[in-house]
Structure 1
Amino acid sequence: MITNEIRFDCQQCGDSGPLVVVPHIDGTPLTELIDSYEIAARMQPAGDAYGGLIPEFFRFGPMQDHFLGLSTGAMGPKTPVLGCECGEWGCWPLMARITATGALVTWDAFEQPHRRTRDYAAFGPFQFDRRPYDDALYALSAVIGSAAGGTGA
């Protein structure tokens, strides 16, 4: 079975803004992957609609839990993997079902909850080997933890 590679890019928004988390799948930002998909499918609006998640702004819980699909209690059965380009995840989120087993983590059943008629059946699924996925989550948590410690948050 061929699996995808993931890393979580964590960049500061502006000079002293909050950290923004964007998943990269096989080296490409998820924001670019979904933009290309929506544009090719002639969805409107499409292109530059999504941005990363800003953990500081929302109570996702630990990012390790969030990206394992464990922080979805208040959000329904799916997990926001991207937010709106404005920084508000609830404004224009990309949601996915995240299923974790001992060997794999799968992202599938993508949806844009504000446009329920959109068909994302051909987007994904993305499957990740569990150990490298956990390593990517650990690296993300280290960055978020060091940033929070450095800002006094």
Structure 2
Amino acid sequence: MASNEIRFVRQQREDRSVLEIILRIDGTPLTELIDRFELNAEMQPAGDAYGGLIPEFFRFGPLEDHFHGRSTNAMGPKTPLLGCGCGEWGCWPLMARITSTPELVTWDSFEQPHRKTRDYTGFGPFQFDRHQYDDDLRALRAVTGSGVDEPRT
């Protein structure tokens, strides 16, 4: 199976004056991919509901752990990949199972935990080359600092 390309992009969020992490799969923001899927599936509400993750708002722990599905502060066995458009991941998150092997990182079993009846079976799975995935995570960490982000007080 061909693998997807991942980019962890850190950008300034103008409305909140904070930095957020935007995930891009094969060049397209994950927010756009999920919007298209939910709109095509006629889910309500849908469209412009998601935003990137804002480490300042939640103690994700080391980003490498979080994006390998080992974040100790997540909701259950799945990991938030997107937060709400308002900036809080707990408000309207997109969750997925993250599985890592020496060769691949796979995102699958997507869910919106506040709408348990939604069916995301046709979304993903996304598989990434482990080396490319880890290289991009290291690049994110280099611009983020220690990778352990503390929430604002």
Fold equivalence (TM over 0.5): yes
TM-score normalised by L of structure 1: 0.92
- C-alpha distance in 2 between matches for 1:55 and 1:120: 26
TM-score normalised by L of structure 2: 0.92
Q: From the two aligned structures, give the one with the greater helix fraction.
A: 1
2:8 is paired with a residue whose SS is strand
- C-alpha distance in 1 between matches for 2:72 and 2:126: 19
Does the Cα contact within 8 Å between 1:8 and 1:140 map onto a contact in 2?
Answer: yes
Does the Cα contact within 8 Å between 1:72 and 1:79 map onto a contact in 2?
Answer: no
Q: Indicate the RMSD between aligned Cα atoms, in angstroms.
A: 1.7
Using the TM superposition, give the Cα deviation of residue 18 of structure 1 relative to its aligned residue in structure 2, in angstroms.
1.4
- C-alpha distance in 1 between matches for 2:34 and 2:47: 8
2:145 is paired with a residue whose SS is helix
Q: Residue 65 of structure 2 aligns with which residue?
A: 65
- C-alpha distance in 2 between matches for 1:135 and 1:125: 21
Over 3 Å counting, the alpha-carbon distance change for 1:47 and 1:87 in structure 2 is same
Moved more, 14-23 or 49-58: 14-23
Does the Cα contact within 8 Å between 1:99 and 1:106 map onto a contact in 2?
Answer: yes
2:132 is paired with a residue whose SS is helix
Identity %: 73
Between the two proteins, the alignment pairs up a number of residues equal to 147
- C-alpha distance in 2 between matches for 1:142 and 1:32: 26
Q: Residue 108 of structure 1 aligns with which residue?
A: 108
- Opposite residue 91 of structure 1, the aligned amino acid is C
Q: 1:1-150 to 2 correspondence within 5 Å? A: 1-14=1-14, 17-145=17-145
- C-alpha distance in 2 between matches for 1:115 and 1:88: 17
